[in-house]
Amino acid sequence: MTDLVSPPTTTSPGVGSAHGGADSGRARRIGNYAGLLPFHAYVLIFLVAPTLIVTLGAFSTSSGGFTLDNLDTLLTRQDFIDAFVASIELSVVTAIAGAVFGGLLAWAVLRGDPNGLFRQLVIAGAGVLAQFGGVMLAFAFFATVGPRGFVVQIIESATPISVDPLWLYSLTGLAVVYTYFQIPLMVIVFLPSLDGLRQEWYDASASLGGGAWAFWRYVGGPILAPSFLGALLLLFTNAFSAYATAAAIISQGCTLVTLQIACQMQSEVVLGQENVGKALALGMIVIVSVVMAIYALIQRRASRWAK
């Protein structure tokens, strides 16, 4: 009897699957690259292009020729040097204050209930207050501790203490304002590192006879040190590059480098100083680049403990 069923067609094993796998892998890679196009376009437009414009302008004259006079002015004018020194000092002070108080607040959050209301409120508040700056933050301080702020009026009416009405307009007052948004930023950045500490590490230290001090000195401290230093550098960069808050509080004078850039770009007394302002911006880019390179190295070391 003749078999009515056709014999199965034989093909070389793995040929079809290999082509299908290669095509699907290629399509997946193309899809991944296409998904990154908006990000690369954003970086190109808002980071690479402005950096190139600033760099070219720092080495150009007002007519477009090449010159080193802008950099020479940057390195020789005393008011520019003082502006860089003041910006670095302000950034260092507020970064340290924000890192210390923000770290303590993050530790207090960690010690509480992971699902508690306190933790959720602090995290939500830190996310909002870390972005609360500029004119709004300046107005808030004017209304509370400014020359006619309600806190100052309460103090002067209830006590014999006389508050200096101009303290908020100094670098000391600006440091207090900057610390206001540095602390919540530290909470956001440092809290995940604290969450990464494992109970097993403390138990292992205790089983070997180590107490709390031994754990923090030999285990917890070395593990958190890279993350803490990285957060400290991030706070420094955040304060060093801030402009709107300082411009709203210090309306007269160019005591910081960001204010100096604005003064050079908007000067109505001495014209043709735009490229000098770009040279100042180039100096800021160099400092921030060095700080962020150190930050990247520290974060690479800190990431080892997250694996």
Which structural domain, as residue segments, surrounds residue 170?
77-306
- What does the pLDDT profile of the chain (307 residues) look like in tens digits? 444 444 555 545 555 555 555 666 677 777 777 778 888 899 999 999 999 999 999 999 888 889 999 999 999 999 999 999 999 999 999 999 999 999 999 999 988 787 888 888 999 999 999 888 888 899 999 999 888 888 888 988 888 888 887 888 888 999 999 999 999 999 999 999 898 888 788 888 888 887 888 888 888 888 898 889 999 999 999 999 999 999 999 877 788 999 999 888 876 555 567 889 999 999 999 999 999 999 888 878 766 655 5
Q: Look at the chain and report how many structural domains it folds into.
A: 1
116/99 Cα distance (integer angstroms) = 24
Structure tokens at 160: 């014999």
Task: Decide if 63 is inside a domain.
Answer: no
pLDDT of amino acid 265: 83
pTM, two decimals, is 0.83
Task: Decide if 15 is inside a domain.
Answer: no
pLDDT of amino acid 91: 96
Amino acid sitting at position 15:
V
Task: Decide if 187 is inside a domain.
Answer: yes
Q: What is the CATH number of the domain that holds 296?
A: 1.10.3720.10
Task: Decide if 2 is inside a domain.
Answer: no
pLDDT tens-digit profile of 144-192?
988 888 888 898 888 888 888 788 888 899 999 999 999 999 999 999 9
Q: Which residues contact 71 (CB under 8 A, 6 or more apart)?
A: 58, 59, 279, 282
